[in-house]
Amino acid sequence: MEIWQAIVLGLTQGASEYAPISSSGHLILVPWAFDWPQLGGDAGFAKSFDVALHMGTLFGALIYFRRDVARYLRAFIGTLGRRRVRTTDERIAWALVVGTLPGVIAGFTFEDLIQNNLGEPVLIAIMLAVFGVVLWWVDRRSRRDRPFESIGPLTGLFLGTAQALALQPGVSRSGITMTAARAIGLDRASAARFSFLLSMPIIAGAGAYKAIGLIDTGLLGYGPQFFWGFASSAASGFLVVWGLLAYLKRHDYSVFMWYRLLAAMVVLGLIATGVREATI
8 Å CB contact between 206 and 54: yes
Provide the pLDDT for residue 84: 85
Tell me the sheet residues that pair with 146. Answer: 186
Helix (H) and strand (E) counts for the chain?
11, 0
* 120 contact partners, CB below 8 Å, separation of at least 6: 278, 279, 280
Q: How far is Cα 26 from Cα 124, in angstroms, rounded to an integer?
A: 9
Q: State the Cα–Cα distance between residues 202 and 89, nearest whole angstrom.
A: 20
**What is residue 36's DSSP assignment?**
P
pLDDT of residue 41: 52
- pLDDT at 44 (0 to 100): 59
Please provide the distance, in angstroms rounded to a whole number, between the alpha carbons at the two ends of the chain.
18
* Regions in the chain scoring below 70 on pLDDT: 38-45, 115-117, 213-221
Buried b or exposed e, range 28-39, using 16+ CB within 10 angstroms: bbbbbbeeeeeb
pLDDT recorded at residue 62? 96
pLDDT at 217: 60
Q: Is the pTM of this model over 0.85?
A: yes
The single-letter DSSP state of residue 171 is S
Distance, CA of 181 to CA of 194 (rounded, Å): 9
Taking the C-alpha atoms of residue 129 and residue 154, their distance in angstroms, rounded to an integer, is 29
Q: What is d(CA 13, CA 104) in angstroms, rounded to the nearest whole number? A: 21
Q: Could you report the per-residue pLDDT of 114-157, keeping only the tens digit for each?
A: 766 678 999 999 999 999 999 999 999 999 889 999 999 999 99
